[in-house]
Structure 1
Amino acid sequence: MSDAEGHTGLAAMGRGSLNPVARETLHDRVYAELRRSLIHGIFTTGQMLRIQDLAERLQTSTMPVREALGRLVSEHALEALPNRSVRVPVITRERLEDLARARCIIEGQMTALAMPNLGKADFDRLRALTTECEQAFHGRNEDSIRAATELNHAFHDHIYRAAHSEVLGRVIESLWLQSGPYVHAAAFLHDEKTDPAGTHHHWQLIEALERGDREGALAALTRDITRAFSLIRNRLDAEEAEQRTLSHG
């Protein structure tokens, strides 16, 4: 075979392996929207996700929804049940502890990598996002809490992008995907007397990053991450105590 023939054959193989752009774009958009919904807590823990319902809400056919749910199950963001239905994983202590530990380790590393690359413009942006987050929390309704959740993710994402680690970034996105429903639920549980907007750890983190205090930054980040998980753990403790009281009543 001549070089020209070989080149023609490879080119033909390349053309044959491409998927139609319109179909791929639709499937990716459905996946991205469901993914975004999980990260920002639009779906709650234990919620059943039905293909037909989602297809109607997304105004699409069932096929891209089915494929997107399959991808999210493989990423451990959703779980498949024996009857072929899919749900957001329920809250368990083991899952809480595992996600909190993983997030502290991975996001702590990303924060350390980002520190040398952050400048005044970044700190100004982080302050603006924190202020917006506080304002959103004051609404105390579903829409405002969702807005605050998105601003919280934007805050952390701004820091992590400065680390320039695509691999760790993908790991963090996966962890956010799995913990999104928990974090959103915790937003309704925090103590408004001690932390009205749930953002004081953000201010501590910004200050530590500005002065180049690695240990201080990691400590503030750890407190910020574990705060939501601790709120849910406390709620589980209270519910179990209530059940014990009722059973012995």
Structure 2
Amino acid sequence: MQKAAIEKNNEAIAAQLAPVGRETVQDRVYSELRRALIGGLFEPSQVLTIRGLADALVTSTMPVREALGRLITEKALEALPNRSVRVPPITLERLDDLLRARILIEGEAIALAAARMGPRQIATIETILGEWDEMRALKHKKDVDREVTLNQSFHFEIYRSCGSAVLIPMIESLWLQSGPCIRVAIYAFSEAGEVDTAQYHRRILRGQRHDDAAV
């Protein structure tokens, strides 16, 4: 009788709670694909298949399909006729559009952050730039993965200080769309002889120290 009562109680609890298993997996798949896109791990025009991604993420195709649908809606990916997807190709028009939006929105976030950042945030940014200098001092091959990570950490440490709950999701969306171009830009800087891309970040840091976003 006690067992029957326990089972009945469990059924009552189950009736009140929504299943979380698949949603949790879907969210994790979405977050991982989102991280990969923002970090430039996928190249422009790269074709992605549901089965290939599911195998790589060690999961079923359903959460991958649903996550890809969300990313297509967010303009981070494009649907193809053969039920696969691709990273949007780079075009001058698309780059110009993304650049204009990023200058407007991220520039505003930096301006707001300039008046709000305290010693702790400044120290964190200095640590990130210190790691950047250490990476550049190494003699082995350029660590693009590390550079992409440090670049993102630097910018979002500032953006999180802007105090705007509206701007942050907009910035994340722009990074989601422009992420695949990041690695291309890093290689382009290298080929052009630019060996210290962190110099631009130091200028931003000087502006934050002096509460001057125009720097």
**What is aligned with 1:42?**
41
**What is aligned with 2:147?**
148
Superposition misfits of 4+ residues, deviation over 3 angstroms: 134-141, 191-195
Once the 2 structures are TM-superposed, how far is the Cα of residue 31 of structure 1 from its aligned partner?
0.3
**What is aligned with 2:29?**
30
AA partner of residue 108 (structure 1): G
More helix by share: 1
**What is aligned with 2:53?**
54
**What is aligned with 1:187?**
186
> How large is the RMSD of aligned CA atoms in angstroms?
1.8
**What is aligned with 2:197?**
198
The total of aligned residue pairs comes to 200
**What is aligned with 1:95?**
94
**What is aligned with 1:127?**
126
Q: Please state if 1:159 is matched with 2:161.
A: no
CA displacement, residues 46-95 of structure 1 (integer Å, 9 cap, x when unaligned): 10001111101100000000011110000000001223220000110100
Range moving further from structure 2, 126-135 or 61-70? 126-135
**What is aligned with 1:230?**
none
> 1:130–1:152: 8 Å Cα contact kept in structure 2?
no
Once the 2 structures are TM-superposed, how far is the Cα of residue 133 of structure 1 from its aligned partner?
2.6
Using a 3 Å threshold, how does the CA distance of structure 1 residues 122 and 104 change in structure 2: closer, same or farther? same
Once the 2 structures are TM-superposed, how far is the Cα of residue 193 of structure 1 from its aligned partner?
7.7
> 1:133–1:197: 8 Å Cα contact kept in structure 2?
no
**SS of match in other structure, 2:88:** coil
AA partner of residue 46 (structure 1): S
**What is aligned with 1:66?**
65
2 CA distance for matches of 1:48 and 1:192?
A: 26
**SS of match in other structure, 1:214:** coil
2 CA distance for matches of 1:136 and 1:145?
A: 10
2 CA distance for matches of 1:19 and 1:136?
A: 47
2 CA distance for matches of 1:199 and 1:92?
A: 26
Unaligned 5+ runs, structure 1: 1-11, 217-249
AA partner of residue 99 (structure 1): L
Once the 2 structures are TM-superposed, how far is the Cα of residue 185 of structure 1 from its aligned partner?
1.5
> 1:134–1:198: 8 Å Cα contact kept in structure 2?
no
2 CA distance for matches of 1:82 and 1:187?
A: 32
Using a 3 Å threshold, how does the CA distance of structure 1 residues 192 and 48 change in structure 2: closer, same or farther? closer
AA partner of residue 111 (structure 2): A
Once the 2 structures are TM-superposed, how far is the Cα of residue 148 of structure 1 from its aligned partner?
1.2
Using a 3 Å threshold, how does the CA distance of structure 1 residues 112 and 44 change in structure 2: closer, same or farther? same
**SS of match in other structure, 1:89:** coil
Unaligned 5+ runs, structure 2: 1-11
**SS of match in other structure, 1:190:** helix
Q: Please state if 1:106 is matched with 2:105.
A: yes
AA partner of residue 70 (structure 2): R
Once the 2 structures are TM-superposed, how far is the Cα of residue 186 of structure 1 from its aligned partner?
1.2
2 CA distance for matches of 1:149 and 1:204?
A: 18
AA partner of residue 87 (structure 2): V
Once the 2 structures are TM-superposed, how far is the Cα of residue 213 of structure 1 from its aligned partner?
1.6
**What is aligned with 1:5?**
none
AA partner of residue 24 (structure 2): T
Q: Identity over the aligned pairs, expressed in percent?
A: 47
AA partner of residue 144 (structure 2): I
2 CA distance for matches of 1:160 and 1:35?
A: 18
**SS of match in other structure, 1:35:** helix
2 CA distance for matches of 1:34 and 1:133?
A: 25
Q: RCO (CA 8 Å, sep 6+): is it higher in 1 or 2?
A: 2
